[in-house]
Every structure is written in C-alpha cells, then in structure tokens.
A and B are shown apart, each in its own frame.
Chain A
Amino acid sequence: MCLAIPGKIISIKKQNATVDFRGIKKEVDISLVSAKPGDYVVVHTGFAVGKLDKKSANESYKYFDEYIKTKHGKNT
C-alpha cells in the first residue's frame, strides 16, 4: 500500500497527467503537486503525492561525502 514507484510525466491535461512507469503509461491526477512534463512523481492510488528531485538522485552519496568530510576531514 505504501509501495509507490516514481514515474515520469509525459503530458498534462488540466489535473490529469500521463505518466510513464518504466514503459507502462498511466493516467495520474496531479492536483496535489505542482508538476510539469519531464518531472518524476511518486504516485499512490492514482494520485501524485510527491515529486522526485532527479538532480539529487545520487543523494545517499552526497550524504556519505558530507559524513566523511566531517568525520575524517577528507573527500571520498
């Protein structure tokens, strides 16, 4: 129930977006987020509930780098 896969918005018509989930296209209501075509959204029961910031997709490493810097005073 809490399993949400992120999908990419292909097109938008009013509050409805066509979202591509790894090749499977679905209609998704985007009235709970402000999103535009190209954005990645996290979808639950037909609604986008959050946006995925693709730029920081490698975020866990960003945190790791920060951790190493503060902990050992060096970069990875």
Chain B
Amino acid sequence: MNPTNTLMNISKQNTEKILDEIKKLAKSIGRETRLMGLCGTHSQTIAQYGLKNLLPRNIKLVAGPGCPVCVTAREDIDAVIGLALAGMPLAVYGDTLAVPGSTESLENARQKGADIKIIYSIKEALKEQKIKPDLVFFGVGFETTAPMTAWAIKQGLRVYSAHKFFPPAMAALLKNKKIKIDGLIDPGHVSAIIGESPYKKFEIPQVITGFEPEDVLMAVLMLLNQIAEGKRDLENEYGRVVKKNGNEKAVNLINEVFEQCDAEWRGIGLIKNSGMKIRKKYSACDAKIKYRRTIAEILSRTKTKKTACRCGEILQGLIEPNQCPLFKKICAPENPFGACMVSIEGTCNIEYKYAR
C-alpha cells in the first residue's frame, strides 16, 4: 500500500494542511526531535499509513512499551505454562498463545495436550469455570482490560494476574537517562479508563490522541507546538472518547480488587508499584496464592535460554526492529523469538507487516 495514496483516500486536504504546519514547526525547531507513541494501536496507525515517511526528517516517531503482551514477564509465561502442563485448565486471550517463555510457549503446551481455551470476553472464562472448577484465567493487560478481570474476580473467577498499571512505566522511562524523548503520545484506551490526571505529574509535552491518521498527525503538531513554545503541558485531542476523569466505575473496580505491587516488565526490568496484585479480600481467587508451591517449583526448575532478542531495547524506543540481527532473518511472526514479534501490537510484528 502506498502511504500517500492511502492518505489521499482518507482526507488528503486536511492531512496536508496539518502536515504543512508540522513542516513549519519542524523547521523552526531545527534539531532532531523524538516523539514516543505509548500505544500499540498508535504504532499500527503510524505503520499502516506510512506516517513516519511523511514527517520532516528531524521529527522521529519511536514506539514505547505500549504492548501489554510484550511486557509480560517471562516468569509469568513460564508459570502459567507449568500450571497448564500440571493439569490445570487455562483460559487466555489469544495474543498470549505464541509468546515464548523460557523454553516454550502456551501454544507448545497446548500441542502437548494442555487444556488451554482462548477467550474473547471475560464472561466466557466464567462460563468455562462452571464446567471446570480448577480453571485459571491468565490476566494480562493494562488499565484497559484489568477492570473486566476485576469484575470477574468479584464473581469468583480464579486469576493469575499479570495485569499492570501503565503510568509507573512512563515514570520509569522518563527517569532513564539513556532514553531521549521530547514528547509523548499518550495511550488512547488506557486514557479512556484512567482519564487525564495520572499524566499531569510528568514534566514533558504530552498529547492524548485517537487512532485515525489525522489524530496521530494532530498529536505530532500539538507536541511540536509545545516544544517550539517551551511548554510541558498535557493536551487531550481524543475528547470524543477520553473524558477528563476517565471511566470512574472501571477505575473503582480496579482499585477495589487489585493493589499495587512491584512488577517485572519483560526486557525492561522491575518497575516499582506497576503490578496489579489481587487484594487479600479476594485471595481465594488468586492463583498465585492457591498454587504458590507449584509455581515456585516450576520457576526453580525452568532454565532460561539466552537469546539475541532485543525486545527490551525495542520497548524503550532505544533501537528499531531492523537493528536487531534476528529481525526478518530468523525472527518472523511464524517463528517469533520475542514477544514483540508475536503480538499484533508488538513493534517488531508491526514493522514486519508493513515495512517495505
């Protein structure tokens, strides 16, 4: 697909007007300016419409840790694989299936006969648990999917929680001196849940934006304008979905069922207070507590193979997929070496699909 053609199909005139303004600002800023997209869906829009190529040379769009499957710790994948192989029925979202653990993926476990059901809606997991009382749901995702898991826990669903809070990862990114970013394109759907306030503490230009190519370009324009004027504000371009206070019902559900804990982000490391741990009140539903011993055993006998996968750097915007020696050579969606190649929100997967 030729990006310029695609843009013509959407609304060439408006897009071009936005691009003109972007060019003017880019010229007046002069230096290289790096803007990070924090949402897998933004990366898709950027790749699908070839937006990187439309921007002036000194404006760089880099992708961050916005793919929940990609940042799920290897130990968590290992643990649920171990549980499944020990005979526990599992319910999972489809995009976790091919993610490599230390030695294998859930898909491999399934081929060995493990009972793993792919679900699309959390209610399917509850239904499945009625037939299989030992079922464990593998909860993965940021504030976008966590409210539904919380809801299901209140209905008695047993969960292995790998859910994560997103803003602590932003704080960790901004603290890392190696990462040079001038502005952030904040996630769309996470923001629909948490609203605007959690971002206000970050002293960097930010724009919450939608998923149409015009939205992303508009976010670039608004960020450049802030940079040119020396501002560090939070602006919301996606008011048609993201309200100031977010979805309070959903946030309350998360806070009622989960509490903060430190959590490992794959490739990135431990991030303080970024994990969602099931509160004591609901510990009967916490698979990590019920199967504590089994999980400890599984993890103690798993040996991690060293690979040349550079997902960790990809997730922090430090390198691009083509800087990984495995990219496209041996790492491909059919044969993924890292989670970034598995998930449809993963930077390597997106780059593989759209790069030409």
* Separation of A67 and B223 alpha carbons in the complex (Å): 12
A37 and B225 alpha carbons, distance in the complex (Å): 40
Bound-state CA distance A67–B210 (Å) is: 17
Q: Decide: B93 and A64 in contact? CB cutoff 8 A.
A: no
- How big is the B interface, by class? 35 or more
Given known A3-B41, A64-B14, A64-B218, contact A49–B250 (CB-CB < 8 A): yes
Whole-angstrom distance between the alpha carbons of A56 and B242 in the complex? 12
CB-CB under 8 A from A63, the residues of chain B are: 218, 222, 237
Q: In the complex, which residue of chain B has the Cβ closest to the Cβ of A16?
A: B123
Q: B241 and A53: CB pair below 8 A?
A: yes
Interface size grouping (class) on chain A: 20 to 34
In the assembled complex, the CB of B183 is this many whole angstroms from the nearest CB of chain A, namely 15
Which chain A residues border B193 with CB–CB below 8 Å? 49-50
The answer to whether B148 touches A45, judged by C-beta atoms less than 8 angstroms apart, is yes
The stretch among B54-62, B137-145, B299-307, B322-330 that forms the contact with chain A is B137-145
- Chain B min CB distance to A75 (Å): 12
B170-178, B184-192, B281-289: which one contacts chain A? B184-192
The smallest C-beta distance from B142 to any residue of chain A, in angstroms, reads 7
Chain B residues with CB under 8 Å of A71's CB are 21, 225
- Chain B 123-182 interface residues, beta-carbon cutoff 8 Å to A: 123-124, 140-142, 144-145, 147-148, 151
In-complex Cβ contact of A53 among B212, B214, B239 (8 A): B239
A50 to B193, CA, bound (A): 8
Q: Which of B69, B142, B192, B225 makes the CB contact (< 8 A) with A50?
A: B192
In the complex, are the beta carbons of B144 and A53 less than 8 A apart? no
Q: Which of B41, B123, B238, B247 contacts A49 (CB 8 A)?
A: B247
Q: Do A42 and B241 form a contact, CB below 8 Å, given A4-B189, A32-B147, A63-B218? A: yes
* B interface residue numbers (CB < 8 A to A): 14, 17-18, 21, 39-41, 66-69, 93, 95, 120-124, 140-142, 144-145, 147-148, 151, 187-190, 192-193, 210, 212, 214-215, 217-218, 221-222, 225, 237-243, 247, 249-250, 253, 343-345
Q: Apart from A59-B238, A59-B240, what are 19 other A-B pairs with CB-CB below 8 Å?
A: A1-B95, A1-B145, A2-B188, A29-B123, A32-B253, A42-B189, A42-B192, A44-B189, A45-B120, A45-B122, A47-B122, A49-B192, A50-B193, A53-B240, A60-B212, A61-B14, A64-B14, A64-B218, A67-B21
Interface residues of A (CB under 8 A from B): 1-4, 29, 31-33, 42, 44-47, 49-54, 56-57, 59-61, 63-64, 67-68, 71, 76
- 6 A-B pairs within 8 Å (CB atoms) are namely A1-B40, A2-B41, A4-B189, A42-B192, A67-B221, A68-B21
